[in-house]
Amino acid sequence: MDFITGKHMPRRTFLRGVGATVALPFLDAMVSAGRAGVKAAAPDRTRLICIEEVHGLAGCNKFGASKYLFAPETAGRDFTLVPDNPLSALEPYRDYLTIVSNTDVRMAEAIALPEIGGDHFRSSAVFLTQSHPKQTNGSDLWAGTSMDQMYAKRFGQGTPVPSMQFCIENLDQAGGCTYNYSCAYTDTISWASPNEPLPMIRDPRVAFDMLFGAGGTAEDRAARRETRRSILDWIGGEVERVRRQLGSGDRTRLDRYLDNVRELERRIQAVEAHNRSGETRELPDAPAGVPDSFTEHMKLMFDVQLLALQTDMTRIISFKTGRDAQNRVFPECASNQPFHPASHHGNREERIMEFNKICRFRVGQLPYFLEKMKNTMDGDASLLDKTMIIWGSPMADPNIHNHRRCPLMLLGHANGHLKGHLHLKAADGTPMANVMLALLHQLGLDDLQAFGDSTGELSLSMPAL
């Protein structure tokens, strides 16, 4: 093959070795011969990433709103993010940011008397389904099909993995949780059907091995890791064979990509070595591949997601970054308060601001990912230009478990569907489902008439003057 002079490499190209399969990113050599010299994009189906921020924000109560700790004071393009607003960390990405304020997630509210108090165990199931979960501890689960899985069924079947689901906290609580709700409702945000919750991956090692086919069995993977060799060592011959057939620009891209794979693997190995050293852990029950540091864990999972999108292994990802009732303390944060107790601030102003420190810290993890997405080219545009990121919470004011005026924002340009640099304030009583219906239409599900408790489609562009 000579990719420089007419023939081309298939978009879905893998380098294979013993127990290892490494997909390649989009390269100029993947442009068809009839379009030689054209820097064509990879298949331009919009990538979708859905990120749940559990338990609301400090800006979703009366005092927090008066301090603009989520929704800016001004709607439109001339909005200001005050320094205390957790979204202020996204100021460098304002051109990719669409804030949608004042939407409700009423399907997370109690409808029947026995459901009162069970908000923690309903909310996550509602975020991407906008449907009310059936209260049950048994196998007769019922929520709704989540929007990421609607998209995956329609447009995700052309990739090796139709969708990937990740999480940060321990979500493997089998059986029943409190208030007669199955733990399945709070363990995932992705539902393949109303009675089929999808498992989420917490361990970066498991995610890495899933992405790169590192060994056919658990025994194979363990044996390979015992050698302390990188997965790339097993495909070295394939790498050199392919490099010889690439132009200089593609060789640079390939080398940079493989360096990123090796560095991610090295970091996972370092975490595992540290956690198996016998030193006291902050998360003693977590797998060895899970860092005690929230920030490092988030970075590892973001890097796995970046590589998954870059190689077109999947175009659809959901990411659950917490658990409503968690009592985790974040040593890297400006607050030393546990997450859940801090969220129940009793409407005391100083305690609201203390909880806001945690909110700022958690939202502050996003720029790491956005910068990498912005700097990763996929043909003629960056991954951030080609991706729709939905970030939000099905909870608003955690102090009273309120689901009205919940935080929601969109990031990325979604292949031109989202312009960014915009704050949209919905009319009072607007369901968040109206936003998601509009997004589903932008993703190509034009025939969808309704979603969850939607009452129509919310326009995501500036009103005409």
The yes-or-no verdict on residue 69 having pLDDT over 80 is: yes
- Residue, of 114 and 174, whose pLDDT is higher: 114
Give tens-digit pLDDT for 385-412. 999 999 999 999 999 999 999 999 999 9
Confidence band, pLDDT 50/70/90 cuts, at residue 105:
very high
**pLDDT reported for residue 202:** 97
Residue 104 DSSP class: E
Q: Are 356 and 86 in contact (CB under 8 A)?
A: yes
Positive or negative, the CA dihedral 405, 416, 443, 375 is negative
Cα separation, 43 vs 38, whole angstroms: 14
Give tens-digit pLDDT for 17-55. 767 789 999 999 988 655 444 444 445 899 999 999 999
**pLDDT reported for residue 415:** 97
**pLDDT reported for residue 391:** 98
CATH for the stretch 46-202+290-442: 3.40.720
Q: Where are the domains of the chain?
A: 46-202+290-442
Which residue has tokens 């489902």? 433
- SS3 of 462, please? coil
**pLDDT reported for residue 464:** 45
Phi, psi of 432 (to 5 degrees): -60, -25
Give tens-digit pLDDT for 253-307. 999 999 999 999 999 999 999 999 999 999 999 999 999 999 999 999 999 999 9
Q: What is the chain's mean pLDDT, rounded?
A: 91
Cα separation, 267 vs 288, whole angstroms: 12
Q: Are 394 and 108 in contact (CB under 8 A)?
A: yes
**pLDDT reported for residue 214:** 57
Give 408-457 as a 3 state SS string.
EEEECCHHHCCCCCEEEEEEEEEEHHHHHHHHHHHCCCCCCCCCCCCCCC
pTM of the model: 0.94
Q: Are 307 and 260 in contact (CB under 8 A)?
A: yes
Longest dimension (CA), the chain: 71
**pLDDT reported for residue 44:** 84
Q: Could you give the percent of the chain with pLDDT greater than 70?
A: 91
